[in-house]
Structure formats: structure tokens, C-alpha cells
Structure 1
Amino acid sequence: MAIDTIIQRDTLPKTKATTGKKGKPVKGAKPVSAAKDTSSKSKGGLQSMVKWNAEDSTYSDNEKNIMYLYGKARVTYEDFELDADYIRVDQKNHMIFARGRTDPKTHRYVGRPITKQKNDKPAAADSIYYNYETKKGKIFNPASEQGGNFVSGGLAKKLNETEVAYHNVLYSTCDLPYPDTHFGIVITKGIAEKNQIISGPAYLEIAGVPLPLALPFGFFPKPNSRASGVILPTFGEDPKRGFFLQNFGYYIGLNDNIDLTNTASVYSKGSYEIGTTARYIKRYEYTGTARFDYSSNNYGNPGDPSQKTFNILWSHSQDPNAHPGSVFSASVNAGSSSYYSNSGAQQNYNLQQITQNNLHSSIAYSKVWAGTPFNFTINADHSQDLAKKTVDLSLPSFSFNMSSLSPFDSKDRVGEQKWYQKISVAYSATGSNKISGVPENELFQANTLAKRFQSGIKQNIPISLNLTFLKFFQFSTNVNYTEYWNFQTIKQSYNRASITSSPLVIDTVAGFKRAGEYNLGASLSTKLYGTMNFKGKLKAIRHVMTPSLSFNYHPDFGDPSYGYYKTIVTQNAVPYPYAATTYSIFNGTAVGGPSAGKQAGVGFSLDNTIEAKVRAKSTDTSQTDRKIQILQGLTFSTFYNFAADSFKLSPIAFSGHTAIFNQKLNISFGGVFNPYEVNIRDSISGNQVKKYSQLIDRYTWQDGHLPRLTSFYASTDISLNSNAKTGNRLAPNLQNTVNNNVQQGLTPEQAERLALVSQDQSAFVDFNVPWNINLSYSFNYANNVTSTTVTNTIQARGDVNITPKWKITYYSDLDIRKQKVSTCQLGIYRDLHCWDLAMQWIPFGYLKMYSVMLRVKASILQDLKLSKRSDFTNNQYYNPYY
């Protein structure tokens, strides 16, 4: 009502207008050009000039020293800028009034005042009063935005350059104009400072409806930089662990380069979880995230021992331009084997994380010396079997390499290269310091690590010569020497006094031991082409065969004269006699040792490719024939060892791959044929009779049979999706984080990777792709004559947009042979503009669960959410490893 009254009083006095009826000049009025900039310096001693202009017309009241500006009016004073449909400048009292107008055609209020000061973003209002001397003013129905936060409605009173008083304004992260805002917090009284809003009584309002959720006081950050603050908890009940407060804590913004997020969860029956996450970045140098989680879960009666688990995550990536020639990277995921299955609440119920069987870690540094053939890599690796609860560590391993070079060639060579100038030499050295198969509970025992670590260095020098003769034949020969340096060896003995089923004793012997081996080889290959021409759309089919014949020689380094292999006498049960067993002293060491058995034989392989040529369409202006790959590769290979006493011919292996439907359907297959006959015998054990097979040194074709297929595998996968539209591939709730990271100097790709470090399952939901399907199929067959094993599974995953705002995701494994779905997960996502609705459901199995969450997208109000969930830990048999 007050605003309407003000607007009605702001009509101009006719006696002082520049023009009167029918455009005639008014006596005593001073005309001013409408399009010309004018300025005035106040008589009150203001040092800066007040400048104004208007697109429609400008009127001056000389008696009261007031300017009236109509139609896209603009006023500037120092760093203050004001645009509106109508502006009145009272130079005597240093007051400015601005308002919009009602469009007679649309009946909408247009031309609202828009102000801007210093580096602040523009702010709009219905009307404003502003004293440009004291820099105080009143703003009716303001609308401003900073850092994704919007303040609108009510009344704002500017107290000075940095403080504004609010009355009944709406604070929200929804960018719709008031009163169409989806939700907000109504601040009845408050003061806005530079980086925060201090509020008195406030209450929640959704879709214009006030809710009985109020706060007596509070503060809301206006982040133009990182700010520390409290993380509010999620309330609920777990049938096994009791009532809980989940994921409460404190965020610490240390500076623009590093921050910390500390969270905890507590349960009424004694369980708790704590975690801390550090994110760091140095512009143009590196980015990374480190996280540590610890949990103590009590699923039994009070006083029962709790299950304590931990997990460490670390990822570090370096800008490739930061240090040319050297790269440091890290990807660490290590912890207790039962962490993911026992602490699902902290893992956002990710099915792939909960069901994973292995953890892997790698920290690596590599260096390339520019202008030289040398490069060096050192890394630390970790591998963990969650089912067996064993750990493999490599601390560290390294590799030093010299790329192939021609020592007899010259950079200043003139003329054709001689044959000896084509001789090339390379060098590589790899070192390892590792332990394997250590139980988790023994990993940090000093005695265990000292005894089990194995160290060694392996060096390799390959010398090769490649020649082409008769234009169509490629000939190559090579000599390869390998040197093994081990700092531990093994010694086996037989304890005849032992009554256990494994009387064999294996001892580790400390001390340096070297060994060396070499082998010689030569190969000859060529290509054979066959083409069939056709009439019509199919122009031709071409078959390319690449046969290769090779010779290899390798001495028997198992000979006792080398000292690499030892023989022990074992004792079997009566009435069988004593038997001798040979073993390598390097068996199971860090880099191994030479192989036993003499090899002097011929290898044969045949590779096949088939492609078709299709005539160009009449509409194709280039008239270029199109090539289609039918078979990208089909290879058969075997080896015949003349030096072997028996079974000289190795099994025949084959493998192939191709891609069809414009490379969308990939197919891979392979297997092994055994060329020897088999003798099946009965074995009596107690009252049971079992069959076992024994190979006979006789080829199957000698009896008129084909080689026997002992194993076969086939796999295929296809990825189909509709044409993606342009847009963000991140869910909106992470886009603000990406934008902030870009402002810190990261590229969009780096900013997106950093934002995804702590992603949840909704982070990669792409509402711009209507549908996406990924299907994979695998088949495995194994036959050892007496038994056959077959596995046959299909995996499906993808998503589909029901509407532009609804999306369904799915993931499932189907065992065709058992006719059973082993895993299944469904997700439903709804884009609610400024809200995000996510539902996850695993309908059956020991991981059966569901979760529903409705939350505000903006991170500043991340605690404004509603959730309902049933954890998989509530199931009776929830942990396959416990």
C-alpha cells in the first residue's frame, strides 16, 4: 500500500515540466535533451558527479532541483549504478527514487530498478529509495543472488556499504522469481553482512505455504570463498544398531587450496563411525583427495566384542604440464576386508562397492629423460582379497628401461641402411620388494614382515635383427639374455617323522643368489591375400592370412650343473617306494629364476582377417566405397618341441575378435584343442569309485578323431544409446562444485573429476540422454573328459528417461544356466528443479535394501533433506565374509 501511494505522488508538476500539452514549452522550465548525458555536482560539497540519461525523455524542475527520467533511465554515482523505467533524482536532498511501470498491454510490471555496486552482482527490486550521499536506502521487494543463494520479497533497508537490514524476506537456492519460488526460509528480521546473514526468527516455506518448522535465530553464509561450518546429522533407526545420528560433523575451509570434512555417526547400541576427508589443489600443479574412515559395529548383545574396520582412500593427479618428463600419481583403496559390507551407510549403498572382492592401490612416479632412450618408474602396489582376507604388497618395485637403439647405425648415414646397421639392442631392469598372501591380522606384525619380504632384481637384454627379403617375406632373429638377482632362496626337505598330510618343509634362506638364462629365436612371416568380387551392392570380400613360422632354442637350466634346481627324496605310504622330486630354489622368490626343460622346436601361427567392400550409395557425392570389418582377427597357434621325450606337440590354441553394427557390438572368443588321446580309469577311495583321465602320447587323428576341445570362452558386449543432447553430464547437485573449481583455476575436465571424488550414485545421472543400454554376455566351457563345467551369464545396465524430468537406472546379472538373477539394483531419479529426489532399491538377496531421499540440490543447504531407508545390514545374513 505504501508503494502504491509513493508511485501516485511521483507525478510531475505541470508548471515545471519542460513540455506541456501538445508538446508546447512551459514557461520557466529548462528543457534538457532526452538522449544526452547530463551531470550535476552537488552544492553540498559532494566530490563526485551524479550522471544520468534516459531514452524517452528527461524533465528538470529547476525550482526544487529535481530531475525526472523516463524510459530506460540510468543514473551513476561513483561505483553505484541504477537502471529503471522511471528515476527521480532529488539533487537538493541527495535522494534517488526508482520504480518500474505496468505495461498496459500485458498488465505486467516491467522496467524494475536494477542496481549494481562495486563487484557485487546486479540486484532488482519493485522500487527503491537511495541516498547517494549517506549511501542508505530502502528496497521494496528486493531480488538478489550471490553464490547460488537468492534473497527475494519483503523489505530491505541499506544501512551502509556492507550491511543491509531485512524484514520478511525469503532466503532460497531456487532461482525462480518470488512468489513462484519452490521453497525458502522466511527471515522475519535479519542483518546481511559481507559474508553472512544473521537471522532472528525464521521459518520454512514450501510452494508459498508456511510450515511449522521455525528457528529462533541462525546465520546463513554468503560464500564468495570457502567457509567453515557445522554439518547437521540424519536421524533414524537401525534394527540391529539402534537409533542413530548419521553423518554429522564439521567442515573446515582452511584456505583456497585445502579443506577438511569431518563426519561421525553414532548408534544407541554402541556402534559408531568416524571419517575425515581432505581435498587439496594447487593451480596448474596437482589435485587430490584423501579420506580415512573407521567404524566399530556391535551387532550382538551389550558387552559383546565389536567389529572394528577401517578404510583409506587417496587419489592424486598431476597436471601434465606442471613438470614435463616426470609424473606422480596415486590411487589408494585399502582397509579391512569387511569394511564395505559393514559400513554401507557411509558408502551411499553402492552395489558395486558392497559386493567387490578385491581392493587395489598404486602410487607411482615416472621420469623420462628428454633426448635420451632412458626412462624410470618406481611404484608401490597393494592388492587385497576380501574373501580370503589376505594382502599382497610391493614396497616398492621399480623399472629402468632403455628403448631400442641401433649401435652400428649412424645419424649421418648416407645411402641405404646395411643389414648389420639394422641390429637393435635394448635393456630393462625391474626390481621388486614384496610379500604375498599375508593374513590381515598378521600384516602389521614386525616379525612377519621381516621374514616374508622377498627382494630381487631382474635384468633383460634383447638383441634383434629384422630384415625383408624377396619383397614379401619378413625375417627376424633374436637373442635374449636374462639375469636374475634374488636376495632369498628356498630349501625344501621331507620330515619323515611327521604324521600330518603335508610333511614337506619349506625354509627361506637369506643371502644373495644370481642366475642367468638365454634363448635364441628366429621367425619368418608373410601375407597372403584372396579376393572374391561380386556384382551388386556387395563389391568384394577380401581374406588376408598371415602365416608365421618360428624356431626357438632354450637350454635345460634344470640340469644339476647349473645349481638352480635341487632334488629331494619323498616317502609315500606303503607299499609304494621312495620317490624323488625336483624343485627350483627360486620358486616363489621376488623375480623367479630360469626355467627347466630343454626346448628346441618350431612354432606355427596363422592369423586371419576378413573384410567386405560395399559400393558407395548413389547419393554419396564422394563415391567412396565403404569397408566393413567382418572378422578382425582369428589366430591359431601351436608349438612342436623336438627336444621333448613325449607329448612334443603343444595344445592348439585359438582366439578371435570382431566388431559389427558400426563397432557397437564387440565379440571375443577363444579356446584350446588337445591333440592327444585320453585314457579313462577308475580310482577306488574307500567305498567310492571315481574316474580320472590320463593323457596318452598318441594323436587323435591317428585314430580318425579330431582334436578334443578342452576349453572355450566367448564374450560380447554392446552399448546403445539415443543421440545425446548438449548439456551437462553431471547431476545438477554437483554442477555448483564444478563451477567453483573452475573459478579456482582448474580446467572443466579437472574440475569435474575433482567434483566426482565424493560423488554419490545420482552424480552421473545424465538427463540429457533419453536412454542408454549396456548389455554384456559371457560363456565359459571347460572339459577334462570326466567332468564338464559351464557358466553362462548376462549383465545388463543402463538408464531411461520416462520424461525429461524422470529417469530410471538399472543393473542386473542373470545366470542363464541356473535361471537365476544373482544381483539386481533399480534407481529412480526425479529432477525437481531446486530439489533432487533419489530412490535406490535392491529387491532381493542378502543385500536387499531400499533408500529414498528428497534433498535440496545446493550444497549450502545440503542438510535440508528428508530420507527413509532400510539398510542391507538389517538382513539376517548380510555379510558374506563374516
Structure 2
Amino acid sequence: MRKFRRNYIVVPLLTVIIIITAMRGVFALPADVDKEGTNLLFFARQDTVELPGRDTIPVNDSLNRTDTTQKPVIDSFSLKLSKDTLSAPIEYSASDSVVGLVEEKTIILHGKAKTSYEDMELTAPIIELDQTKNLVRAKTTRDSTGELTDYAEMKQGDNQFKSENMEYNFKTMRGLTKGTITQQGEMFVHSDIVKKVDENTMYGLGTFFTTCNLDHPHFGFRAKRAKIINKKLAVTGAVRPEFDSVPVPIYLPFGFYPLYQGRHAGVLAPSVETNDQMGLGLSGLGYYFVLNDYWDVQMQGNIYSYGSWSVDVRPTYRKIYRYQGSASFGLQHTRRNFRGDPDFYKVNTYQLNWSHSSDQRSRPGTSFNASVNASSTKYNENVPNSNLVNFQNALGSSITYTKNWQDKPYNLSISANHNQVNVSRITTISFPNVAFNVNTLYPFERKEAVGSKKWYEQLGVGYQFNLRNNLSFYDTLKVRENRGVSWGKYLLDTTRWGATNSIPITLSLPPILGGAVNVSPSVSYSFDVIDRRTNFTYEKTQSGKDTNIAHSPAWNPGIRQRASFGLGFNTALFGKFRLNNGSQLRHVARPNIGLSYTPDLSRKEWKTVQVNERGDRVGYNQLDPNPYLNPYTNQFVSKRFAGMNFSFDNNLELKKRVKKKNPATDDNESADLSSLHSPADSLGGKDSANLAGYVPLDSLSRIDSIELARKSDETEFKKIRLIEGFGFNTAYNFYADSLKLSPLNVYFRTNLFDKININAGATFVPYKLNQFGMAIKQYAWEGGKFGLGSFTNANVSLSTSFQSKPKDPEKEKKRQEAINNTLNDPMLQADQQRLLEYMRTNPAEFVDFNTPWSFNISFQLSYYRGAYDLLKSKWANTITSSTMFGGSFNLTEKWNFSVNGGYDFSTMKLQTVSTSISRDLHCWQMSINVSPVGMYRYFSFTISPKAGVLQDLKINRNRSFYNGRGY
């Protein structure tokens, strides 16, 4: 069959070539015509006026004359191109055959045909080129079942089409296609017939719009007629939805589909949700404004049937190589239930978020960054259907300007900080904070060093200046007014400011004891300017039973000086223990001893205050806000210190001998051992044969060394960390009147099998206790009984996680990158509520179907010794233990189940549990989230398309329950 087909094509083709060669006067066929890279210039219309022929009489002039006065004349005659001539050649190729129809001036390409003209490229199983009409026709083929084997694909600029049949005019840029599929952004447009009238405008008949990328999409919108403007919009008449080719009997009078590839203004559609305390509501109704190339604004609001509402304005801005940022300002009016109900609640709150970052490429050495997250203390508590935000208790902000001078050793930083705790309703603002630092300078360093540096050349001096201003207040003005204190006076009373000047001096000395011990001396001097002094007085109540220590701050600035001198010694000790199997235990100990002296330079500010009826007094510094008492020893800790700090850190490793991945071959081993027989072979003759296995005694050491070398070639050491760190630290103060030894802190940490993290720590007071639980001047180990002291607090935590290998590692890598890009988007980070809302409304983007299962669990146990109860004669101890768990697994390739929760062993109750079921519906996503346990219970069901262009086309059902109210 193959041979017959080749003869059937080649013979007529040779005949056509012979005819064309004989008709050179009609057609001028180039010599480079072949199937690959052929052009259509030979189809251009020929000039019917013949040029004069060559003179047949030769002219032989024996005189070679050259007239230098005459210039060569250039013939100005040229052929005019026809108006129908194309502006560029048409290139084409085919993998099977090329058929040329001379009379029709048509070429037919078979088998992976490809043709290109300017920026247009067309591929199809069959292509016809008609030079007389400047048309190209693309056709497809079908198999025996009637299914298409391939599509005709056309690319022109940013446009791309897939069609069953296509006809296109090179000259007019108009065309007609059948069974066409084209992509416009995230939208796929299927049309029975498409008429292309110009470069950017098309008309479709029997058009189907969808975001599913399959040839037979799962859903879409069907319209009879449509007009499509490339990369802008599509407009249709009456339209209805279809799911799996099943029409839904719901018609819309017209359809409008935005096809923009950038920002564009438009309405933000709301979603319907239900809240147990707020009623039925519309969430997310708003509008998106594009102000210019650098600014846009998004406005959204929520409204509920019980009277609650909220408004949120979110502008964003970005200028390349300069800066970028976003902000969010929200007002929230919360009204739960109805007036007269016992649980009626109404409150007005606000929130403000701002994120800004500058690009240092615009102003080298200068940066300005801001991250502001502030709100009313009740704002997060009243965000509906979002328990993650409801539990967010602490908020913080920072605004920083930094300046680094080029080739200068100093820098400047000005910042403002904000912190608030929603439970206590206390807000602290620190502004302005000024920091001016001078890098360490070496005044004795030689400009042109010769040889090694002297010890005094490594003497460094620096300077640090810090100015800080703090302001603390409650977010409710009425709290202050009810106590008879005006808001302004209260702010002045709580404002504290101060400045610190510090001069650190460092010196690097050479190691001692043969380089085994490092020595690091240090000297530091600073003086602080404090805005006020504080006096404490002992007062009795009117009943005489209770006492109180009152403080009265006064605006009287003072200077507090501080100085410290230190000398540190540290080294590392190594020990190895060989095991029977050739493995080794490696122990590393790092002792660190620090000697320090801190004089008390503020004795003139020293005062004492009576603390009880017995007349006991405690000392304090007027420039400190409160007396500083040790919670375990009840002893005042003076600023004066002369003592020693001691710490001892250890780690333990196992060096295990394992086989190499590519061990040496047996042939090489035998070759190495064959040299041991050389003494026997030297005897010669028959004896040498009898003594072939003899090894002399002086070669035994060689046997051991070669055997060890053979093992080292086959194996290698693998390092396994058994204990990453364990040790203790304490301090001793020579100036203390008593209880000179500080509490002993011990710790332990390790990671077993690279899976189980273990951290533990404890604190001991190294003194005996009296009948009231107070420390006395007697060490715990005195009296013949050994002990570390009184146990004050301890904690143990364990955590581990397991997961299966991803089915497709490359896909998992891309998924993680996509998630990180989303989570690290500065526009989302500026507003944590928006980030959490995005994760809640797009759950399928954060579900890992590529990993079949994963599991994590953690456990915490803590002990704290409280005050001593004299009535019960025991310590008021507090023991807490809890566990957190989470995991997910794929029920099938498309179904995923996950659960997260926590259990408190102290109360023997579940703290919170949240479960979710997600289904990957190819072009859709579905999730069910339920939290049946905890203060904030909720239920949500969401099904929506994955494409962002249809993000508002979703079914969303939410319900939340506050204060543990049931379903």
C-alpha cells in the first residue's frame, strides 16, 4: 500500500515539473523549491512584456578605450509590483507531501502542515494555499469512529485558535472558522462558527463561555450570538448556564464577560451568609476603582438583618523601582440579637492596616518601611464567621526610617511602634524612637599594617544613642472619666521618655593555653536620662486591716549611670568512645565562664519603703518604676554586681559506620592483598607452590592496616545527633548579703530520628526553705543530704510530624511556590484579615492532593510553683498539660479530609476541633468546614469555580455560633 501511494504521487509530480520547466516564459520557478521552507514568490503575476533578447552578433573591439570623463548611467527602469502582491513571503512545510496545482495556483500540504506569514502561524493536518485569492484553508481529519485526530491551530500575536476548519485571507486579515476554541485570559470560548472581521474583533454563532480547559467542558454559559473584542470584553444576547451539557432553565437577557488582562473597574458581587447572632446578611458587596497606573481602591461592605453593618476601604499603590504598599480602613457596627433580649449587644469598632516598603534602588542607603495593624480591642472579636480572627489577641505595628551614609561608620534609625492586648484593653505607643549608632572604630590600628596585628590594635570603641518615648492608655475613655481623671491628664501621667548613651569597648586577645581557651574582655559605660522620679509610701486603709504601697511619679528628670567590666573564657572539649561494632560516640562539652563587675553608680537615688506592719523595708531606686523583688527569694536585687556567670553546654553524637553507595569491587581487594604472598613466592621452585598461603609474622601489622583500609573503602561514617544540647547555667554574686548563688537552670533538647523534637527545662533554687516556703541561708546539699534545691518550674514539650512522599515532587514544589507567593503578597500581608479570608474562601488552593496523607501532634507539660499557702501549708502549684493534633489524608485522588484540634488534660476537655472535607472538581472547588467544639463554632459550605474571573459565581453557606451555643 505504501509503495503504491508513493508511485501514485511521484509520477504525476515529475510530469508537472517537466511541464513547468518547459514553460519558463510563463512561470519562473526558483531552484530552491522543496517541501521545507518553500516560499510563494513564484506565484506572483508575471510581466507580459518580454525584455529584449541577447544580441547574437559578437562585438570584438581590439582597442580597449576608457573614457574617464563619462560616468556610468544607471537604468531607472523597474517593474511595478501588483497591488495584490503580499508584503512578505509565505513560508510553509509539511511532513508528508506537497501537491502543487499549477493552473489553479494552489499548493496542498499534507501531514503536520505548517505555514507562516508575518506574525501569523498556522498548523493543521491539511493546509491549502490559494495564491489567486490570498487564502489559506486548514482542514482536520477524523478516525474511523468519527473523532477528530487533531485540530487546526492558528497563532497571531497574543491570539490563539483551535478549529475544525479554518479559512483565512492574508490580505484582508478576515477569516471564517468552524468548531473554534480560543482562550481569552482565564476564559475559554467555544464557538460553532466564528467570523473574524479584523485583527481584534470576532463574531460567534453558537458560543459557549467557560473556564474549564477540557475539549468537552464541565460547565459554561451558552449564547446564540456573541461579539468578542480581543483582550477586552465579550457581549452576548440571551444566555443560559449548562452543566455537563445539561441546560439549566434559567435565562438572562444578555451576557457581559470581561476579558481584560490587567486591572479594570467593576462591581464586586456579594455572597449570602447566615450568622446566629446577626441574622441573614450580604457579605462583600462593593466596587473596585482603578484611579491610575499606580493607584486603585477597593470598597466593600457587609450588612445583616439584625442591624449590623461594616464598611472597608482598601487602597493599594505600586511604583516600580520606587515603592509599593496598601492600606485598609474599616468601620464596624455590631448588633447582636434584639433590644430587650438578655444577650443584646451593640458596639462600634474600627480597624486600620497599612503596609509600605521602599525600594533601595531608588535611594541607596535610605529605606522607609511600615507595617501597621491597629484596631479597637473589640474589633476582631466581632468579625463574623472567622474564628481565626476572633482569637487574635495581640496586635503590633512598626514604622521605621533608616539612613546609612556611604563610606561613613555611622547610621541613623527613627521608628514608631505600637502594641495592644485586646484582653486587657491596654495600648502602648512608642514614638519617637531614635537610634544613632557609630560602628566600632579601632583608634590604634595602623593605616599600613606590616606583619600581624598587635593586640592593642584590636581595641575597638563604639557609640550608641537611643531615645525612646512610651505612651500607654486604655482604649475606652469612660474608664478614666469615671475615676475622676481627665483623658489628657491620664495620657500625661502614663507618658514616659528617656535617652541612653552607651560606649562599648571591645578587645580581641589571642587564645591562651596553647590556643585552647578564648579570652574576650569587655568594657561598657552608659548613662540614661530619665524623665521622672517615683516615690513609694506605705499607707493603711481606714479599717486598719489592709495596707497598700502607693507610688507618686513626679516630673523631675534624673541621670542614671551604668558601667560594667567583663572577662570571658570559653573553650571546647572533645571526647571519643569507640564501640565494639566500629562506631564511635563523640561528646563535645563547651564550658563558658564569665567574670563581671557592675558598680552601683546611682546610690544618691536610693531609698527604702516599709512593706508590712512589722516594719520590714525594701530598697528601691527613684528612677526605676517599681521595686524589683526576686519572686522566689523575696530579696531585693541591687544593681551592684560582682560575680561569675557559668554555663556548661554539651552535645552527643554517634558516628556509625555504614556501607558506601559505591563500594570497591572484589577484584581491587584481591589485587591489594596479593602482595602479601611475595615473601613465600621468593623461595622459588616446588617449595613456593607448597607455601603459597604462607604469611610471615612481620606482615601481621600490614594485614591489620590493609584490612582497615579495605573496610574504609567499603564503608563510611554517618553522623547521627543523639542529643543536640543539654547543660545548665547559673551565676554567683559576691556583693549579695545572702543567697549569693542564683537559681540553677537546666535544659535538654534533641531531635530523635529527625522526626521527634523534645525540649525540656527546669529551674531550681539552690537553698533550703523554711516553714513559710522562703529561702534561707543554707544550701540544699548541706547537712549530708544531696539535692539541687527547690523545684520552682519546669516544662516539657514534644512534637512530631509525618507525611507520605508526594506523588509528583515537581508538582509539589510548584504548589509550595504558588502558596508562598500568595502568602507573601505584600497586598495581603498588609491586612491579615484579608489573608485569612482568602484562605477561607479559596480552600482548594491550600489542600495538598499530591500528598496522600500527613499527620502532626504536639504535647506540652508545664509546672509552676506559685505562692506558699500558709493556711494549707503547701505551695499553690499549677500544672498544665495539653496536646495539639492535626492531619489530612486523601480518601480518593479527588477527596481530602483534614482535622485539627486540641485537648486540655487539666480540664479533660476538647479546646477546639475543626474538620474540613475538600473535593477537587477539576475546574471547580468544593469544601465543607465544621468546628463543633470551642467558643467560636461555625459551619461553612463553599462550591465555586477556581478561576478568579468567576470568583463571585459561588454557592456559599456559613453559620457561626458564639459563646458555645449549640447548632
TM, length-normalised to structure 1: 0.84
Aligned equivalent of 1:685? none
Secondary structure at 2:389's aligned position in 1? helix
Distance in 2, matches of 1:737 and 1:250, equals: 28
- Within a 5 Å distance, the mapping from 1:396-407 to structure 2 comes to 396-407=432-443
C-alpha distance 728-321 of structure 1, shift in aligned 2 (>3 A): farther
Of structures 1 and 2, the larger Rg is shown by 2
CA contact (8 A) 1:289 1:315 kept: yes
CA contact (8 A) 1:556 1:595 kept: no
CA positional deviation for 1:845: 1.9
Letter in 2 for 1:469: I
Aligned equivalent of 1:454? 496
Distance in 2, matches of 1:534 and 1:731, equals: 45
Secondary structure at 1:135's aligned position in 2? coil
CA contact (8 A) 1:797 1:812 kept: yes
Aligned equivalent of 1:744? none
C-alpha distance 109-528 of structure 1, shift in aligned 2 (>3 A): closer
C-alpha distance 542-601 of structure 1, shift in aligned 2 (>3 A): same
Distance in 2, matches of 1:509 and 1:83, equals: 87
Moved more, 528-537 or 165-174: 528-537
Distance in 2, matches of 1:138 and 1:733, equals: 43
Distance in 1, matches of 2:537 and 2:195, equals: 92
Match status 1:259 vs 2:302: no
Match status 1:143 vs 2:161: no
Aligned equivalent of 1:690? none
Secondary structure at 1:353's aligned position in 2? helix
Moved more, 262-271 or 158-167: 158-167
Q: In the alignment, which of 589, 599, 604 is matched to residue 545 of structure 1?
A: 589
Letter in 2 for 1:171: F
Q: In the alignment, which of 399, 403, 421 is matched to residue 385 of structure 1?
A: 421
C-alpha distance 328-668 of structure 1, shift in aligned 2 (>3 A): farther
Letter in 1 for 2:220: G
Per-residue Cα deviation, 1:214-273 (whole angstroms, up to 9, x for no partner): 211131111122111111111244343232111111122344544322211111221112
CA contact (8 A) 1:728 1:766 kept: no
Distance in 1, matches of 2:134 and 2:569, equals: 97
CA contact (8 A) 2:473 2:491 kept: no
Aligned equivalent of 2:149? 110
CA contact (8 A) 2:276 2:959 kept: no
CA positional deviation for 1:325: 4.1
Please tell me the root mean square deviation across aligned C-alpha atoms, in Å. 3.8
Distance in 2, matches of 1:324 and 1:456, equals: 31
Letter in 1 for 2:781: W
CA positional deviation for 1:329: 3.0
C-alpha distance 63-632 of structure 1, shift in aligned 2 (>3 A): closer
Q: Taking every aligned residue pair, what percent have the same amino acid on both sides?
A: 28
CA positional deviation for 1:86: 3.0
Aligned equivalent of 1:158? 196
Distance in 1, matches of 2:591 and 2:624, equals: 36
CA positional deviation for 1:98: 2.8
- Within a 5 Å distance, the mapping from 1:455-854 to structure 2 comes to 455-467=497-509, 468-471=511-514, 472-493=516-537, 504-538=549-583, 540-557=584-601, 559=603, 562=604, 564-567=605-608, 576=613, 582-588=619-625, 596-617=638-659, 619=661, 621=663, 623-662=715-754, 664-681=755-772, 693-703=773-783, 704-706=785-787, 707-724=789-806, 725-727=808-810, 758=835, 759-761=838-840, 762=843, 763-784=845-866, 786-854=875-943
Match status 1:294 vs 2:331: yes
C-alpha distance 523-738 of structure 1, shift in aligned 2 (>3 A): closer
Distance in 2, matches of 1:509 and 1:851, equals: 56
Distance in 2, matches of 1:516 and 1:595, equals: 17
CA contact (8 A) 1:491 1:508 kept: yes
Structure with greater proportional helix content: 2
- Within a 5 Å distance, the mapping from 1:152-551 to structure 2 comes to 152-177=190-215, 180-194=216-230, 195-301=232-338, 306-318=346-358, 324-345=364-385, 349=386, 351-436=387-472, 438-441=474-477, 447-467=489-509, 468-471=511-514, 472-493=516-537, 504-538=549-583, 540-551=584-595
CA positional deviation for 1:182: 0.9
Distance in 1, matches of 2:820 and 2:576, equals: 58
Secondary structure at 2:770's aligned position in 1? strand
Aligned equivalent of 1:688? none
CA positional deviation for 1:814: 2.0
CA positional deviation for 1:58: 4.6
CA positional deviation for 1:19: 8.7
Letter in 2 for 1:110: T
Per-residue Cα deviation, 1:546-571 (whole angstroms, up to 9, x for no partner): 33443333334463xx2x2334567x
Moved more, 418-427 or 703-712: 418-427
CA positional deviation for 1:714: 1.9
Moved more, 358-367 or 719-728: 719-728
CA contact (8 A) 2:768 2:776 kept: yes
CA contact (8 A) 2:310 2:333 kept: yes
Secondary structure at 1:341's aligned position in 2? helix
Q: Any gaps of 5 or more consecutive residues in structure 1?
A: 1-16, 682-692, 742-747
CA contact (8 A) 2:275 2:958 kept: no
Q: How many residues align?
A: 823
CA contact (8 A) 1:156 1:165 kept: yes
CA positional deviation for 1:870: 1.5
Distance in 2, matches of 1:519 and 1:709, equals: 32
CA contact (8 A) 1:526 1:547 kept: yes
Distance in 1, matches of 2:648 and 2:116, equals: 83
TM, length-normalised to structure 2: 0.77
Secondary structure at 1:846's aligned position in 2? coil
CA positional deviation for 1:533: 1.9
Distance in 2, matches of 1:62 and 1:619, equals: 69
Letter in 2 for 1:779: L
CA positional deviation for 1:143: 0.5
Distance in 2, matches of 1:265 and 1:57, equals: 66
C-alpha distance 587-729 of structure 1, shift in aligned 2 (>3 A): farther
C-alpha distance 234-249 of structure 1, shift in aligned 2 (>3 A): same
Secondary structure at 1:83's aligned position in 2? strand
C-alpha distance 631-97 of structure 1, shift in aligned 2 (>3 A): closer
CA positional deviation for 1:812: 1.6
CA positional deviation for 1:738: 6.6
Secondary structure at 2:416's aligned position in 1? strand
Moved more, 303-312 or 665-674: 303-312
Letter in 2 for 1:138: L
Structure with greater proportional strand content: 1
CA contact (8 A) 1:366 1:376 kept: yes
CA positional deviation for 1:46: 5.0
Distance in 2, matches of 1:482 and 1:330, equals: 30
